[in-house]
């Protein structure tokens, strides 16, 4: 589209044509936080673009703050006749490289429209976390509280509970509340994990949303109690 600008000079009307300003591509992502399962992959970041050059190729990139464009992954595609496009960036993990629970680590999403010069245009900021559970190894005494942390997008905004069972049994020996998880499903608090009455043996700690044990939707960790640490 071109605009016409009429200028009056010495009583004469001059008709000038000026190029319209290029429309920058815009876009959205589908979540506030994305979950990564260590060694298994992650939820794809779906990026929906509008305002692109019809029929032109594009690139969407996930970038770790302070590092090069696409340092956390990228995906390409082609705009349709209306200038719209969608792409998914896969296997994005927390930038720190941790496989443990995190509050959510930031990633920047941007897009390049190669029909409009390929300028890298910011789209959104999002977070990446692990679906993970950790239990501190200290203190050594089974009778003392230790830090229990969990994260994972399936738990976002929900009240989280821990359940201790003997081996693979469904009989709950003890239960405790961790609190309400943030947008990345992260919550952390201190608890005495060993069940009472204190005794040695092999146990499992399951953590899931809600006050009832839900093994299919829980993360879990095994632990042993030695009589010498009771």
User: Average pLDDT, stretch 210-220?
Assistant: 97
pLDDT at 183: 98
Question: Is residue 136 one of the residues assigned to a domain?
Answer: yes
User: Percent of the chain beyond pLDDT 90?
Assistant: 79
Distance of CA 164 to the CA centre of its chain: 28
Considering the domain architecture, whether residues 95 and 172 belong to the same structural domain is answered as no
Considering the domain architecture, whether residues 52 and 142 belong to the same structural domain is answered as no
Domain extent, residue 95, equals 23-129
Paired with 29 in beta bridges are 47
pLDDT at 211: 98
pLDDT at 26: 96
Considering the domain architecture, whether residues 197 and 100 belong to the same structural domain is answered as no
129, 163, 194 - which closes a domain: 129
Considering the domain architecture, whether residues 74 and 152 belong to the same structural domain is answered as no
Q: How many domains in the chain? A: 2
Q: Is the pLDDT of residue 119 over 50?
A: yes
Q: Is the pLDDT of residue 21 over 50?
A: no
Q: Is the pLDDT of residue 7 over 70?
A: no
Neighbours of 166 (CB within 10 A): 15
Instruction: Write phi, then psi, for 194 (nearest 5 degrees).
Output: -65, 135
Considering the domain architecture, whether residues 143 and 81 belong to the same structural domain is answered as no
Alpha carbon distance 122, 114 (integer Å) = 15
Give me the CATH number covering residue 223. Answer: 2.60.40
Give me the CATH number covering residue 60. Answer: 2.60.40.230
Considering the domain architecture, whether residues 123 and 144 belong to the same structural domain is answered as no
pLDDT at 15: 39
User: Average pLDDT, stretch 29-33?
Assistant: 96
Which position has the higher pLDDT, 148 or 225?
148
């Amino acid at each position: 589209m071109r605009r016409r600008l009429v200028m009056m000079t010495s009583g004469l009307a001059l008709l000038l044509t000026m190029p319209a300003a290029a429309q920058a591509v815009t876009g959205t992502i589908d979540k506030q936080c994305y979950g990564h399962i260590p060694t298994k992959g992650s939820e794809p970041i779906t990026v929906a673009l509008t305002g692109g050059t019809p029929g032109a190729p594009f690139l969407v990139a996930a970038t770790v703050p302070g590092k090069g464009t696409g340092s956390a992954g990228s995906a390409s595609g082609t705009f349709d006749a209306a200038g719209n496009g969608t792409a998914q960036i896969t296997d994005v993990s927390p930038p720190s490289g941790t496989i443990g629970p995190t509050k959510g680590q930031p990633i920047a999403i941007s897009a390049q429209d190669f029909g409009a010069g390929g300028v890298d245009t910011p789209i959104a900021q999002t977070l990446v976390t692990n679906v993970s559970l950790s239990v501190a190894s200290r203190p050594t005494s089974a009778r003392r509280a230790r830090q229990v942390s969990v994260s994972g997008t399936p738990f976002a905004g929900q009240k989280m509970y821990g359940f201790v069972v003997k081996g693979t049994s469904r009989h709950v020996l003890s239960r405790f509340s961790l609190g309400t998880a943030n947008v990345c499903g992260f919550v952390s608090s201190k608890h005495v994990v060993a069940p009472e009455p204190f005794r040695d043996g092999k146990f499992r700690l399951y953590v899931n949303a809600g006050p009832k044990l839900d093994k299919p939707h829980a993360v879990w960790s095994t632990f042993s109690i030695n009589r010498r640490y009771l």
